[in-house]
Amino acid sequence: MFDNKRRELEQQIDMQGRLPPGQSLTLKFPVLHYGPVPTYDLNTWNLRAFGLVNEEKSWSWANVLKLPMKTVTTDIHCVTRWSKFDTVWEGVLFSEFMKLAGVQPEAKYVIAHCEYGFTANVPIEALLDEGALLAIKFDNKPLEAEHGYPMRLLTPKKYFWKSAKWLRGLEFTETDRLGFWEQAGYHNEADPFKEQRFSRFGGG
C-alpha cells in the first residue's frame, strides 16, 4: 500500500516535469555523508566569509540567529538516485548573505568549507536562485545532526552533494576549484536534469 502510494506520487511528479532522469521519489530523507557526525559547542561555533570579500568576516551562532531568515519550499535530488519533493527549509538567503559579506564583483565561485576538511564548489550564479540558503531548519525544526546541524548549504538546482553539511566557511573566488567529491570523480556541474553524476575524466 505504501509503495503504491509512492509510485502514484512519483508518476504525478514525473508528469509535471519535476523528476530528473534516473531518479526515484522517496518519502523518507536518506542519510549519506563522508566521515562521522561532528558535535558542536554553539558558544564557540562560527561561520567565516573570506577570499574575494571587502574584509574577512565571522558570525557567531548568536549573530546568525539575528540575520533575516527566509522559508523556501524546493525539490532536492541526490546523485544516488533519490529525489524528495516540496521540502521546506529555513535560513539566510544566499543572495542576502553575499551582501552582508561584502562579496567583490570579481567573485564567480564559492568554495564551501565544512568539518573534517570537506569542501564543495558551486558557481555563484547557481546560488543566486531564490531557493539557495544557508539553511538552519528543515521541516520547521532545527536540522538534525546527521543532516548538517547547525548549518548547511542548500543548492537546490544541483545534485545534493553540493548542499554541503556542517558548514563553517564560505570562500569567494574568481576561478573554480574542485571540491572533495569532484576530485573523486563526481561531475563538476552536477545538474540533475542533465544527469551530470560523474566525470569521464575522473574529476571535472
Domain ranges of the chain: 2-28+38-194
In the chain, the percentage of residues whose pLDDT exceeds 70 is: 96
In the chain, the percentage of residues whose pLDDT exceeds 90 is: 82
Taking the model in full, what pTM does it have? Answer: 0.91
Q: What is the mean pLDDT of the chain?
A: 93
- Which of these CATH numbers, 3.90.420.10, 3.30.70.2860, 3.90.1560.10, 3.30.70.360, describes 2-28+38-194? 3.90.420.10
CA dihedral 124, 175, 161, 57 (to 10 degrees): -60
pLDDT of 1: 52
Q: How far apart are CA 93 and CA 103, in angstroms?
A: 14
Least confident of 6-20, 74-88, 148-162, 168-182: 6-20
pLDDT of 201: 46
**E strand or H helix that includes residue 165:** none
The yes-or-no verdict on residue 104 having pLDDT over 60 is yes
Q: How far apart are CA 19 and CA 42, in angstroms?
A: 37
What is the mean pLDDT of the segment spanning 61-80? 96
Question: Among candidates 104, 108, 97, 105, which has minimal Cα distance to 48?
Answer: 97
Q: Which residue has the higher pLDDT, 35 or 44?
A: 44
User: What grid cell was written down for 24?
Assistant: 526515484
